[in-house]
């Protein structure tokens, strides 16, 4: 039987372990079906830093998470052994070396990974590791920004370039790539043309408002099919009203409810890995962003559990 979180009726939520959702550490269980791992790295940011403190903030914001998810009718911590695997320590001064470290460490887990960032640079090594096991991946990318630019100041590896590199390296299935939540000004119309050339479809934040989460989720399911799916959630997909604690905020974003409902609409998809990135707690207020990210991670874990139940 899986070992679950500390019992909140016995240990108050403001006490107990500082793990995600007060779950056991990975060294306290015999195995893990899903591992929560932090990557406190933000050397790839182009504007406000601080996402290196994101993993700790999301763990703090997860203390109120309870074992049963009524929205998806699943008890993920009872159906799966979920454990907190701590953080992947990587070089903050050398982006290339950090990417290598993250890729190697991610590949050593014999579990589904839900990774807490850190900036979006970390998605590239996580995708590489997942693709080594599962082959080219469908990608569902929640973000205000495309993150398919070529370089920043001549640098090929930043938080704005991971998905361009992933397409170039062949780790993504270009028939099943989607952005959700895109909005705000761009450098030029060519940004959109380049993104389409790489194979991405775009669901803007305005599209979600007009079409609704259920219709958007169904369209995404059709695009994904049964392919192995990686979900990458930049918390700035949310409007700054719902996620002020992030490095590159853009007005006009998704609500927390919209994001969670789209994720819940993906029940049954072949999820093989996920991340939640760009939480920068220095800009947060009353843990708004950290709590939102913690709940996003919870629904991602729940999707793993539902897939296991249908297998």
Annotated binding site for Mn(2+), which residues? 120, 143, 145, 147, 234, 236
Size (the chain), residues: 311
What is the number of helices (H) and of strands (E) in the chain?
10, 8
Name the strand (E) or helix (H) holding 86.
strand 82-87
Q: Write down the H helix ranges in the chain.
A: 54-61, 76-79, 95-107, 123-134, 162-168, 190-198, 205-211, 213-224, 256-264, 288-310
The binding site consists of: 120, 143, 145, 147, 234, 236
Angle in degrees, CA 233, 268, 165, rounded to 5? 35
| Contacts of 210 by beta carbon, 8 Å cutoff, 6+ apart | none
How many whole angstroms separate alpha carbon 123 and alpha carbon 120? 6
For residues 267 and 296, is the Cβ–Cβ distance under 8 A? no
């Amino acid at each position: 039987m899986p070992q679950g979180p500390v019992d909140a009726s016995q240990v108050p939520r403001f006490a107990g372990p500082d793990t995600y959702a007060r779950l056991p550490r990975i060294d306290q269980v015999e195995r893990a079906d899903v591992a929560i791992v932090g990557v406190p790295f933000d050397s790839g940011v182009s504007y406000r830093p601080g996402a290196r403190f994101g993993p700790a903030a999301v763990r703090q914001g997860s203390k109120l998470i309870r074992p049963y998810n009524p929205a998806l009718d699943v008890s993920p911590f009872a159906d799966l052994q979920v454990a907190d695997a701590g953080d992947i320590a990587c070089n903050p001064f050398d982006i290339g070396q950090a990417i290598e470290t993250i890729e190697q460490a991610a590949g050593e887990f014999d579990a589904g990974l839900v990774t807490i960032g850190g900036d979006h640079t970390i998605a590239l090594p996580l995708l590489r590791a997942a693709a080594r096991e599962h082959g080219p991946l469908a990608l569902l990318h929640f973000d205000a920004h495309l993150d398919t630019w070529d370089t920043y100041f001549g640098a090929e590896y930043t938080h704005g370039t991971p998905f361009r590199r992933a397409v170039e390296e062949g780790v993504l299935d270009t028939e099943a790539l989607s952005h959700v939540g895109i909005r705000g000004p761009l450098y030029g119309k060519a940004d959109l043309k380049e993104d389409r050339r790489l194979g991405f479809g775009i669901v803007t934040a305005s599209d979600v408002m007009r079409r609704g989460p259920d219709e958007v989720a169904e369209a995404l399911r059709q695009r994904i099919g049964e392919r192995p799916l990686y979900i990458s959630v930049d918390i700035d997909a949310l409007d700054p009203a719902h996620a002020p604690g992030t490095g590159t905020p853009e007005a006009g974003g998704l609500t927390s409810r919209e994001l969670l409902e789209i994720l819940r609409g993906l029940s049954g998809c072949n999820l093989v890995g996920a991340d939640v990135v760009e939480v920068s707690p220095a800009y947060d207020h009353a843990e708004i962003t950290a709590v939102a990210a913690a709940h996003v991670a919870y629904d991602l874990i729940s999707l793993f559990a539902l897939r296991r139940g249908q297998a």
